[in-house]
Amino acid sequence: MSKRVIISETPFVDVEFQRSALEESGVELDVRETHTETAVAEALGEADALVADVHTPVTADTLEDADDLRLIARAGTGFDNVDVGAADDRDVYVTNVPDYCTDEVATHALGLLLACRRRIPAFDREIRDGEWSWETERPMRRVPGSTLGLVSFGGIARRLAEYVEGFDLDLLVYDPYVDESVVEEYGARSVEFPELLEESDAVSIHAPLTEETRGLFDADAFERLPEHAVVVNVGRGGIIDEADLATALNNGEIAAAGLDVLEEEPPGETPLRGLENVVITPHSGWHSLEAHDDLNRTIARQLEQALAGEKPDHAIDPEPWT
């Protein structure tokens, strides 16, 4: 009897690649848009495995009738849209692809930091509008010799720490789940969150979206940062309160922000759109041809393993999420 794999969204999943990779396993691929819990519940009731993107809500309710489901494969790194605990209760593996875009996102974070610090997009816009002036309302500060704070210290943040080694930066890390000895291996120092804010000239956010991190960067956090600080977010949009960020930028509490993720994607009427001191990219930090290929190869491998009754390589430990 063939196995049915439902692919919920296709922006990042190469359907033909998956079909070719799984054809010898007798797998039937079913591609459908599942952006509501009702649609997800219907799909899971018919699936042996689900390939889910970020807009696919997998909750305890959607899993109620998923009797044959073996795997929820997140087509990406973050999995905050999947109830890992509820899946574990039903003996369903949840996997992600943790390292397919480490270099891309670390590079993107560095690019946003430099673009904000050196005011590159703003200068470009002004020249296109017929202006020619190196002067700015805020003094531009030298990057080498400054302090970079990293919020969360997983693979991407560690790669960024390696990238900036030649910039002669002091590195601070806030991550209560990473041992201090690991942080020290990268020439960084572990600190509590308030200290990171108060001592950092720039902050790069790499954390997942959890109850602990949701709204972590609020009005109080922006008040603690120096007025010349730059905030970069390549983690999840909900970590920053966008209304508070807009207020901080408008009031000169911080200098600039570089954002690859937003609370709502694509954004609605966010106050950040019209601000000169914000650089926004469309959640593109992950993207390269190589990363896209790595993503699809890893997804296919997780499907093969789970459907063969094996534990997938990138099965997520449910304990921290239950």
The catalytic residue among 119, 159, 206, 236 is: 236
The Cα 81–Cα 96 span in angstroms is 12
End-to-end CA distance of the chain: 34
Q: Are residues 94 and 130 in the same domain?
A: no
Cβ pair 148, 109 in contact under 8 A: no
Q: Are residues 268 and 119 in the same domain?
A: yes
Exposure of 285 in the CB half-sphere (CA atoms within 13 A): 31
The catalytic residue among 108, 117, 283, 314 is: 283
Q: Are residues 200 and 225 in the same domain?
A: yes
Please list, in sequence order, all residues whose beta carbon lies within 8 angstroms of the beta carbon of residue 65, skipping any fewer than 6 positions away. 41, 44, 45
Quote the number of domains for the chain.
2
The Cα 173–Cα 154 span in angstroms is 11
pLDDT digits (tens, 9 = 90+) for 204-258: 999 999 999 999 999 999 999 999 999 999 999 999 999 999 999 999 999 999 9
pLDDT in the model for residue 1: 62
For residue 9, give the CATH number of its domain: 3.40.50.720
Q: Is 236 a catalytic residue?
A: yes
Q: pTM for the complete prediction?
A: 0.90
* Residue 114 lies in domain: 102-280
3-class SS of residue 249: helix
Q: Are residues 272 and 132 in the same domain?
A: yes
Q: Are residues 130 and 59 in the same domain?
A: no
The catalytic residue among 265, 276, 290, 310 is: 265
Q: Are residues 13 and 112 in the same domain?
A: no
Q: Is 283 a catalytic residue?
A: yes
Please list, in sequence order, all residues whose beta carbon lies within 8 angstroms of the beta carbon of residue 114, skipping any fewer than 6 positions away. 120, 143
Q: Are residues 111 and 258 in the same domain?
A: yes
pLDDT in the model for residue 171: 98
pLDDT digits (tens, 9 = 90+) for 46-86: 999 999 988 899 999 999 999 999 999 999 998 989 999 99
Structure tokens at 309: 């009754």
Nearest CA to 227 out of 139, 150, 151 is that of 139
pLDDT digits (tens, 9 = 90+) for 162-202: 999 999 999 999 999 999 999 999 999 999 999 999 999 99
